[in-house]
Chains A and B, each alone.
Chain A
Amino acid sequence: MKLTVWTYEGPPHVGAMRVATGMKGLHYVLHAPQGDTYADLLFTMIERRDHRPPVTYTTFQARDLGSDTANLFKTACQEAVDRFQPQAIIVGSSCTAELIQDDPGGMAETMDFDIPVIPLELPSYSRKENFGADETFFQIVKSLAKPQARTERVTCNILGGTALGFRHRDDIQEITALLYDLGIEVNVAAPLDATPADIARMPAAHLNVLLYPETGEMAARWLEKNHDQPFTKVIPLGVGATRDFIAEVGQIIGRELQADESRLRLPWWSASVDSTYLTGKRVFLFGDGSHVMAMARVARDEMGFEIAGMGCFNREMARPMRAMAKEYGVEALITDDYLEVEQTIEALSPEMIMGTQMERHIGKRLGIPCAVISAPVHVQDFPARYSPVMGFEGANVLFDTLVHPLVMGLEEHLLTMFRDDFEFHDAAGPSHHGGHSPQPVEADPAPAPTGTDVMVWLADAEKELKKVPFFVRGKARRNTETYATEQGLSQISIDVLYEAKAHYAR
């Protein structure tokens, strides 16, 4: 047993639901108790879907156990097929049904439907949501994809988009347009918006573009092996990565590709003088492995931030994450324990967090701004406007996303100059956040000195520290304390404060 308060991933059948809900013409018959129907609200409320997820829950009760849960499943299955007329069904168990061992897959197969029945084995007590989506998509592809000739023109499939994914809708549109510009048409994008009939056509493409390894890699590998379709490894997130991605696609199809970069604005926005103030902002990244790794590159190489720490909640990505973290000179945090992430952030006290909705809550508590870059996300992270994070427009969106939580350059300058002014005083916060700006917390992120290495701030040094604008005060305190510790000091005077400032000057 493991005590959990908040989780980054749901159970694996929720992953299967993300695939089913993303697709059209597919139905999921899930052997599960009534309470598991809560999962519908993830799609209808958080993602604002205007249709019910195509899921029939058997909703067995205690009195059915031991008597007739199997029949209940068969009835539910038959009624779902009759009512919804799907092109194919997937069937499986939730955590509770897994324990009663009714074998939904076996039962459905004996029912002689004239549509494909795809059984799912999703171990609820050892795996999680991303695995569930990855495995489900893989099983669907494996059952439905048919051997066939390649299309005449060069085409590709786009793999991994699901319902409830972080910006999947817009990323797929952006990358589809980018590929079109490069003369490559999209054969099928799946699972998001694909039908079972589309899945059958997938082997006609010349290559696969894998945008979301968390939810599409198993299918990509199977298609590579069985249908001889190579797949892309670079995720086109950020300017450099998008250029690398274009080069990789070119290599696969054996043609030099030249993309139209006329709409790309991030490089100039980042080079322009107002952005000088972004230099060396310490950021902490956490989320799913793929997004964090891609975003770390953007943060360091395209925004000029300093990476204070990075990590992911999905163990499947632990190895590449550790390797990349090492290269970036930090230690990777691989955990799905929310409290551990919070402790790490508190200890590192970065100036900004790039995370999931969980880190947004951590940031709120610690008074650290947060930009959301990865699932799990909440309703406000499904914007009405077009806002991809991949491709060139995605890079533009990222610039805005990463700058918005911070105080802007010119404003930061003014704050420093007029810090005692009544309008520019500390507590005002970034002007573009209105009344809801994160209240600058007077208690700095660094907690009061405790334990063995007690560091005492002398009164005048403490007073001087107060004159430092709030958004850098936490850093100033932390740097000064680190410096003092290194110097073997136990008291901080004004002199020590300024010596530390000189020491860390960049």
Chain B
Amino acid sequence: MNVPLPPQSGGCRTAPVLKERGQREVFCGLTGIIWLHRKMQDAFFLVVGSRTCAHLLQSAAGVMIFAEPRFGTAILEETDLAGMADAQQEIDREVARLLERRPDIRQLFLVGSCPSEVIKIDLQKAAERLSQTHAPHVRVLNYSGSGIETTFTEGEDACLASMVPVLPETEARELLVVGALPDVVEDQMLGLLGAMGIDNVRCLPARRIDSETAVGPNTQFILAQPFLGETHAALVRRGAHHIAAPFPFGDEGTTAWLQAIATEFGVSPATFATVTDAPRARARKAIAQAAEHLGGKSVFFFPDSQLEIPLARFLTRECGMTAIEVGSPYIHDTIHGPDLDLLPAGPQISEGQDVELQLDRVRAARPDLTVCGLGLANPLEAEGLATKWAIELVFTPVHFYEQAGDLAGLFSRPIRRKGLLKMEAAE
């Protein structure tokens, strides 16, 4: 049996959700640029924003590996605000300069920020005009990564959604896998699907603009990331059909995800087993090693990336952990439903955030592991709580069978470390 069964005691899909609206401790959507610009090798992300936006990108990136990375911020100055400078002209000038210096750029994203939205700079107009000016060499699109509209991973969602309307039309029956994955992981996935005989696979985002990602009424799409609500809606508007499935984390998640595709494309159970048996066994073995340190331990998720629900499903079902609270910035039933079905009833499911109240709850619960943002991790460690910073889950390859052990390892390492450190006198 390939499809994981819902827990006997029931899942969490119908569990009451604690909805909170208060102060949040999360990144804005601009952060997605950090991984998107590595994925799309001919794209440049130009944020129209403030010094804060530039500083956020720099701080979230952590290291500055590239002299001239493929992202930058056009920082608004007083003349722009006072209306002394025409924003549209300023953008044209900066873009022209940039494209002249970087002929390798084939797609340019104008990314909106809180300041550009509050003063209503029309980036769509700018993108349309610039597309005409720089066609056919460069395609210019726009989306918002602002903190007043997007939370962390929603920036990738907004970016991909902006690409959907301009994808070429196709009548072909193709599988479209949606969500940025590290190249090595993407190749593994294509390998698995190929071995099942599914070769007509496209990816969004593609590594380069020239790749043949297209969409149409015969497109079957599946999400590889759980934060792509807008992109989902945009694809449905183009007539594509969504394959609902749990997300491909761990053995069960990966198997269920692949099985949903296999069913849609008529892959025989025998073929499916031939392709997946060996990597499944490897994944189980790798998970079991890390799970030694996780079994019987409790976990508490702060809302961050929308990966929380699928990850809680993985940790509870495959690593033997108990979830106390699973917070997600947003919950979409169509997208998170399959994972909620499998997540054993018990944890408090929460949506949104009031960070002070949530901190009160985590202090009362004292979980063995807390998954939270970088701003909270050290302060909670100082209070004796082991933490896993959530951003690493987005930056590290964690999808599919071969990474399942690494994924479990990300969670077990902080707990193991806590056990290893001994500073008391031996006596």
Contacts and interface: CB of A to CB of B under 8 A. Distances in A.
A2 B56 CA distance: 17
Given A37-B375, A62-B117, A124 B25 contact: no
Interface stretch (B63-71, B215-223, B245-253): B63-71
Contact of A33 (B74, B119, B146): B146
Contacts of B71: 5
Contacts of B72: 3-5
A40 B56 CA distance: 11
B374 A41 contact: yes
B52 interface: yes
A342 B375 CA distance: 31
A38 B382 contact: no
Interface stretch (A42-50, A190-198, A281-289): A42-50
Interface stretch (A94-102, A396-404, A408-416): A94-102
Interface string A56-88: 111111100100000000001001000100000
B78 interface: yes
Contacts of B41: none
Nearest to A48: B378
A128 B94 contact: no
A91 to B, nearest CB: 15
A225 interface: no
A365 interface: yes
B148 A62 contact: yes
B148 A6 contact: no
Given A1-B48, A125-B78, A358-B64, A62 B378 contact: no
B214 interface: no
Contacts of B378: 44-45, 48-50
A95 B151 contact: no
B114 A5 contact: no
B74 A2 contact: yes
A110 interface: no
B125 interface: no
B382 A1 contact: no
Interface string B362-387: 00000000000111111101100000
B24 interface: yes
A14 interface: yes
Contacts of A76: 23
Interface residues of A, number: 58
Contacts of A339: 67-68
Contact of B28 (A1, A35, A51): A35
Contact of B52 (A41, A49, A94, A357): A94
Interface string A13-52: 1100000000000000000011111111110110011111
Contact of A95 (B115, B356, B376, B377): B115
Contacts of B31: 35, 38
Contact of B73 (A3, A94, A128): A3
Contacts of B356: 79, 83
A95 B26 contact: no
Contacts of A40: 25, 374-376
A466 to B, nearest CB: 27
A361 interface: yes
A239 B396 CA distance: 47
A57 B30 contact: no
B206 interface: no
Contacts of A33: 28, 114, 146-148
A149 B55 CA distance: 44
A65 B148 contact: yes
B59 A42 contact: yes
Interface in A107-159: 123-126, 128
A10 interface: yes
Interface in B81-102: 81, 85, 87, 90-91, 93-94, 97-98
Closest 4 CB pairs of A and B: A35-B28, A35-B147, A40-B375, A50-B382
26 contacts: A1-B75, A3-B73, A3-B74, A4-B54, A7-B51, A11-B50, A33-B114, A35-B27, A35-B28, A37-B24, A37-B375, A38-B375, A50-B381, A53-B375, A57-B23, A57-B25, A60-B148, A62-B117, A62-B146, A83-B356, A95-B115, A96-B114, A99-B118, A126-B77, A361-B65, A361-B67
Interface of B: 22-31, 46, 48, 50-52, 54-56, 58-60, 63-65, 67-69, 71-78, 80-81, 85, 87, 90-91, 93-94, 97-98, 114-115, 117-119, 146-149, 151, 356, 373-379, 381-382
